[in-house]
């Protein structure tokens, strides 16, 4: 699944357009490398997002097959780091 779509479905960002712009600006890293919004994400990949003064790092544990509810998003990734930047 595309990284921008995955970030939207997992509620990491509010809208897919925000995920796309973050990727374009180099604020999204997939396994330590900057990615384009169309880059495919897989189970086991680590996503690091620096947005709105926060750093969020998570490991993908499952790729959703369609839309999922907000209460179920924690079943699809494991939160590694959530910090506020200085």
In Å, how far from its chain's centre is CA 56?
Answer: 8
In this structure, what CATH number is given to the domain that contains residue 62? 3.10.290.10
Q: What is the mean pLDDT of residues 64-84?
A: 91
Query: Measuring CA to CA, how many Å separate 51 from each of 3, 4, 61, 65?
Result: 15, 14, 22, 26
**pLDDT mean over 19-30:** 97
How much is the pLDDT for 85?
72
Average predicted confidence (pLDDT) for the chain: 94
pLDDT band per the 50, 70, 90 thresholds, residue 84:
confident
Domain count, the chain: 1
Structural domain containing residue 62: 3-84
Mean pLDDT value across residues 41-52: 96
43 close to 60: Cβ distance less than 8 angstroms: yes
The string of pLDDT tens digits covering residues 67-76 is 899 999 999 9
């Amino acid at each position: 699944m595309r990284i921008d779509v995955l970030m939207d479905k997992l509620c990491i960002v509010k809208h897919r357009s925000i995920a796309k712009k973050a990727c374009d600006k180099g604020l999204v890293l997939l396994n330590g490398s900057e990615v384009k919004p169309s880059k495919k994400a897989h189970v086991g990949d680590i996503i690091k997002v620096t947005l709105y003064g926060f750093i969020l790092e998570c490991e993908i544990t499952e790729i959703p097959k369609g839309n999922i509810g907000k209460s179920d998003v924690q079943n699809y990734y494991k939160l590694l780091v959530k910090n506020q930047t200085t």
